[in-house]
Amino acid sequence: MMNTRHQFSQARRVVVKVGINVLTLDQGLNLPVIASISHEIGHLMSAGRQVILVSSGAMAAGMRKLQLPERPSAIPARQAVAAVGQAGLILAYENAFDRDGRKVAQILLTAEDMTNRKRYLNARNTLNTLLEWGVVPIVNENDTVATDELRFGDNDTLAALAANLVEADLLVLLTDQMGLFDGDPRIHHDATLISESRVNEPLLDSWAGAGTSGLGRGGMVTKVRAARLAARSGTATIIAPGAQAEVLSLIARGEETGTLLLPAQGPDAARKRWLAGHLQVRGRLVLDAGAVRVLQESGRSLLAVGVKKVVGGFSRGEVVSCVDLQGQEVARGLVNYGAEEADRIKGEPSSRIQDILGYVDEEELIHRDNLVLV
């Protein structure tokens, strides 16, 4: 297989997830590790990269602050401990990033935020704005309200969904293992580290489940699943040892560390396939001939000025079908305005949206990144 490490060393937008075993020491936060990872992320940002950090550790920080001898078993108690720990976790990162003059923002998400299209777009827009401002978004599960998330319990999946959300080039999962092996190295001394593989490789599941507890079903299985989720938007994943010195710098230089899991298709193809085939169409926009021509020939965004008619009761962030005057489907995409707003601004130039609606979410009715030709 061709060496693709250098290609992904050029990734402009990166999601870094730090696991609990990397971040904690004696059931408390490992502040030197937090400082080291924060410093490395600062270096990546100085080199022109945008980084989103997904961090575990809230439960450990809460247990230490409340002086609890063990993790509570009751869900409300675990949620309360996590709430206490979130404050300590974000403070630790804020102090660490502040040493390099970096600002941080806390983003708490649930699975519902990823499935509700309006909230999905709101989260996406907020994250994109923070990245443009040079702020480090620190993402975690909103444990105080997400009981299902607590039972499901893995930030690997959250990190993959965050990578989908912002269309990241690379997802880095920092763990306490060297990467994915073809067997459990604690049992099989001849087990080999998998340097590179496609996410659709059938053997991945058996490799990930080769061990017990942390290395196998409790750890690598969720990481392989996360890599496949990330691949939906064409994002590659590296599973790397968080304890390795300057591990993010090694990845940024294209050096071989950990396991690289490659998507089966490129970012554009993956996103368009997801958009075209996995979301239910909620309404229709009837376009004039000029708008149809712009979409088909220029690959540009759809503006309200090219819309003749709005059909359906869709909300912002839902999928609508774009049809020509004869009713033939031309494209579909995620709409930036609900049906009522779209009907009010149809046929109008973008400069008029503020006057008509009293606000402007986006200048485009559908941005080209959220549009696929049919």
Question: How far is residue 226's CA from residue 12's CA, in Å, rounded to a whole number?
Answer: 20
Per the CB < 8 A criterion, the answer to whether 179 and 251 are in contact is no
Cα dist from 175 to 54, 72, 125, 152, whole Å: 13, 24, 29, 18
The architecture of the domain spanning 279-373 is Roll (2.30)
The ranges of the chain annotated as CATH 2.30.130.10 are 279-373
- Sequence-distant (≥ 6) Cβ neighbours of residue 76 within 8 angstroms: none
As a whole number of angstroms, the distance between CA 62 and CA 83 comes to 7
User: Where would I find the H helices in the chain?
Assistant: 5-9, 20-23, 31-46, 58-66, 75-98, 111-115, 117-132, 147-152, 155-166, 204-208, 221-230, 247-252, 267-277, 289-293, 339-345, 353-357
Coil, strand or helix at 336: coil
Query: Side chain identity at 87, as an amino acid letter?
Result: A
Q: Are 218 and 20 within 8 A, CB to CB?
A: no
Which amino acid is located at 51 in the chain?
A: V
At which residue do the structure tokens 């196998």 appear?
Answer: 216
Q: pLDDT of the chain along its 374 residues, tens only?
A: 345 777 777 889 999 999 888 988 777 788 999 999 999 999 999 999 999 999 988 888 888 889 888 888 887 888 888 889 999 999 999 999 999 999 999 999 876 777 666 777 788 889 999 999 999 999 988 776 665 543 435 788 889 989 988 889 999 999 988 999 887 777 777 888 988 889 888 888 878 775 433 333 347 888 998 898 888 878 999 999 998 989 999 999 888 899 999 987 766 555 665 565 545 788 999 999 999 999 988 878 999 999 999 999 998 888 899 999 999 999 988 899 999 999 999 999 999 999 999 999 889 999 887 888 87
What does the pLDDT read at residue 3? 52
What pTM, to 2 d.p., does this model score? 0.74
133-157 b/e with 16+ CB inside 10 Å = b? eebbbbbbbbbbebeebbeeebbbb
**The domain over range 5-269 is classified in CATH as 3.40.309.10:** no
User: Residue type for 3, please?
Assistant: N
Q: Which amino acid is at 213?
A: S
Instruction: Report CA torsion sign: 147, 122, 271, 249.
Output: negative
For 15, the enclosing helix (H) or strand (E) is strand 13-18
Report pLDDT for 270: 56
Between CA 196 and CA 259 the distance in angstroms is: 6
What is the predicted pLDDT for the residue at 283?
93
Every domain of the chain with CATH number 3.40.1160.10 lies at: 5-269
Strands 281-287 and 236-241: unpaired
Give CA–CA dist 282/314, Å, rounded.
5
The pLDDT of residue 212? 39
Residue recorded with tokens 């060496």: 3
pLDDT confidence of residue 213:
37
